[in-house]
Structure 1
Amino acid sequence: MRNITIETVTDGNIEQCRELCNELMAFQKAKAKLAPEAFDLMNFDTRMKKSFEHALASQVIVAKDNGVPVGYAFSTVDAIDKTRREFPAWAPIQDPKKSLGFYPDWDHLPARMGCLNNLYIRDGYRDLGLGSQLFSMSMGWLESLPDVDLIMIYVSNGNDAASNFYLSRGFTFSHDVFDGFIQAFYKWNK
């Protein structure tokens, strides 16, 4: 019998997401049509932990079954470099000369943006509505922040189900990142 609980991490203990984050990277690699080998360099330490440590603010929500993590959502607030050529701390490419940039190339880009970094539900728990719950909680937090006017979500190539999920929830395709390795989606807040 399942005993599902959802809790917001308030003590900074993101370590409980290690296994799930590593599963997410393997899931993304399996779905990827472009450069799946790039996911070999992405794991909890290089992706989630690094982003958590560099964020201006962050929220981690964990879904558990009898105390065992089965899904999570990880959101951040990040500063956007005025040149728009900067990359997040976790990004695999750090040389702006080799990529068009991680952020949209808009005339009026805010100084801060919210980002739903990771949303993952373990296989066997995906048809329980947990993803929608974690998404709603994450959006509620990001939308409540007065200095966050833009919310971005980055989806790895090949994960069409995730792209469709976000599009159906009011997000709009923005641009390709790293020549299509990642697709960026946005939504204005307020």
Structure 2
Amino acid sequence: MAIRYELIPDEQITRVKHLCNELMSYQKSLATVRPELFNGMSFESRMVPSVKNAKANYIIAAMDGDEIVGYVYSNVSPKEVYSNEFATFFDMDSVKGNDVGCLSQFYLKEGYRSMGIGSVLYEKSKDWLDSFDDIHDQFIYVSNGNVAALQFYKSKGFKVSHQILDGFIIVLRNT
């Protein structure tokens, strides 16, 4: 298997729609805190608005032949988009600038995990986020129950900052 990595332009985000929806189902299957909140989450309700609200987007896909087997979506967005009717994701006063970086979605299909593909996707995304000199604060949001993702991000140097929605989401922050 020769995995290659392909940048997905914003106007082609529907190419990862099926994986985004798989991610929502996967997160729900692991959740121990309020799994019903995932019922209203989908590509249309999570990724599309996020891409539209961001100042810059980075979507990179792991390709096995012509099949997308994983993706990571990161963005740079005004910090205010992280305070809405759903939740306030972090203390606005703790952010140094007007914008934040976020590794927003990350998913690998079963059978492609623990092969180093996730690390490559993460590094590409992190390099992109780090390329913004004016972005000092980077966040990752991990759904409850996703212990493997939490450990993965911690191994990459992110630290648990706090929880929101009574533990539904664990917020990690760059140090």
Question: Fold-level match, TM-score > 0.5?
Answer: yes
TM-score normalised by L of structure 2: 0.93
Match of 2:135 in 1: 148
TM-superposed deviation, 1:50? 1.3
Q: Structure 1 unaligned runs (5+)?
A: 88-93
TM-score normalised by L of structure 1: 0.86
TM-superposed deviation, 1:127? 2.4
Deviations along 1:80-129, one digit per CA (max 9) or x if unpaired, are 13xx9823xxxxxx06xxx5x21136555431110000110000111221
CA contact (8 A) 1:104 1:174 kept: no
Q: CA RMSD in A?
A: 1.7
Q: How does 1:73-84 map to 2 (within 5 A)?
A: 73-81=72-80
Aligned residues: 175
CA distance in 2, matches of 1:163, 1:26: 17
CA distance in 2, matches of 1:108, 1:115: 13
> Which of 121, 124, 149 lines up with 1:137 in the alignment?
124
Match of 1:90 in 2: none
Matched, 1:86 2:76: no
Q: How does 1:35-184 map to 2 (within 5 A)?
A: 35-81=34-80, 86-87=83-84, 94=85, 101-104=88-91, 106-107=93-94, 109-184=96-171
CA distance in 1, matches of 2:6, 2:94: 38
Higher helix share: 2
Match of 1:91 in 2: none
Among all aligned residue pairs of Structure 1 and Structure 2, give the percentage whose two residues are the same amino acid. 39
Q: Structure 2 unaligned runs (5+)?
A: none
